[in-house]
Amino acid sequence: MVDPTERLVNLAFLLGAECGPITAVRIRDEVAGYGAEDQDEAAFKRMLERDKKELRAMGLVIESDAEGNYRLDRGATFASKVALEPGEAAALRAIGMALLEDPSFPFADELRFALAKIASAVHEHAPRAVAHTADEHPELQGELVASLNGAVQSRKTARFGYTNSYGQHKKHVVEPYGIFARDGRWYAVGRDTDIDEIRVYTVSRVTGLEINANCPGTPDFAKPSDFDVVGYIGLPFQYGDDEISVLLSFAPGEAWRARSLTGGKGDLHAGADSALQWRVTARDRTRLLRWVIENGPGIQVLEPADLVRDYENGLKRVVVAHGGGRNG
């Protein structure tokens, strides 16, 4: 009997190998794992529907027409064809095996599927390592992200409690559009139905997550056609509740680092004395000051005035903590 994962891989390979539509009859005849002698047509169709649903949840865009034919939309599924050398495949497998040991990684099943596809290029046992994609409550984040990702794929409404950076707790009803990871944290992006705005939520602050289980297979909402989760991936200090406009300065000798550090966010422009100034939006003052100190010296806070004071006081505390500023 063919393993279900192997059957999924075989189906994905057949869809990926054909440019035109494929009939269900051909899938049953050519994909190992279907077409058992004791399997009737209804059972085959149920199995095929389950497999298509799993492949779609993994990111494969499978289209169907009125005649019941199937086609893989390559443009929406793959950015470009990837040819891996054996060494590259081995490196990917080593990374993948490390992630499988990470309790915070929410896509273990999908990763096993991907590793099965590249396994043939690896000719020796890959070394194992331990990695963590989440630095806060890894086990909890893994479970929450997996559930939220399922809601994103099935377009089902999510209900949860959320504690903001001020410690205020509130219930939210959200239509989840996408998820992403940044600096050891997972984030969910979706429309808050109470305020009719798209917001970014830190997953580690989510409690009591409930995904709407009514009418499974029927979406609760339509995701905007122009939505792109990449547009919501900000710098570490751009997630929070209160938006402020900040002006920073890169010293002349540090200006070469500005474009890589700013990540295309905000506005870079020439300032006084050959310095480079950066106007950017921030939502977390503490994380912004930490970012400035971690990436300094040569980066200075210019505006607003209260943030400048906080920055200077923070520097004084750092100096004292490291034994500076003492008499004698």
Domain with CATH 2.30.30 in the chain: 138-227
Which residues on adjacent β-strands are paired with residue 162? 170, 206
Q: Which ranges in the chain are annotated with CATH 1.10.10?
A: 4-77
Q: What pLDDT sits at residue 102?
A: 66
Tokens describing residue 227: 């939505």
Structure tokens at 259: 């474009």
Give the model's pLDDT for residue 284.
86
The confidence score (pLDDT) of residue 193 equals: 95
CA distance 262 to 292: 11
The Cα 74–Cα 92 span in angstroms is 22
Residue 131 in tokens: 């990695």
* Class of the CATH domain delimited by 138-227: mainly beta
Question: Beta-carbon neighbour count of residue 102 at 10 Å?
Answer: 17
Distances (CA, A) of 151 to 4, 105, 196, 211: 23, 17, 18, 7
Question: What stretch of H or E contains 174?
Answer: strand 169-182
Task: State the pLDDT at residue 204.
Answer: 86
Go through 229-266 and write b for each residue having 16 or more CB atoms within 10 A of its CB, e for each that does not: eeebbbbbbbbbeeebebbbbbeeebbeebeeebeeeb
Intervals of CATH 3.30.70 along the chain: 244-321
Look at residue 128 in the predicted model and tell me its pLDDT: 38
Cα 217 from Cα 3, distance rounded (Å): 25
Q: Is the pTM of this model over 0.85?
A: no
Q: Which CATH architecture fits 4-77?
A: Orthogonal Bundle (1.10)
Going residue by residue through the chain, which has 328 residues, state the pLDDT in tens, using 9 for 90 and above: 566 777 887 888 788 777 788 898 888 888 877 876 667 888 888 899 999 888 887 777 888 888 888 988 766 665 445 566 766 776 777 677 667 666 667 666 667 656 655 654 444 443 333 444 444 555 566 788 888 988 988 899 999 999 887 788 999 999 999 888 776 678 899 999 999 999 999 888 899 999 999 988 899 999 888 888 878 888 888 887 778 999 999 998 888 888 888 878 889 998 877 789 999 999 888 888 888 888 878 899 999 999 998 888 877 776 676 666 555 4
Q: Right CATH number for 244-321 from 1.10.3120, 3.90.320, 3.30.70, 1.10.287?
A: 3.30.70
What pLDDT is recorded for position 217? 82
CB 190 within 8 A of CB 199: yes
Q: What are phi and psi of 288, to 5 degrees?
A: -65, -50
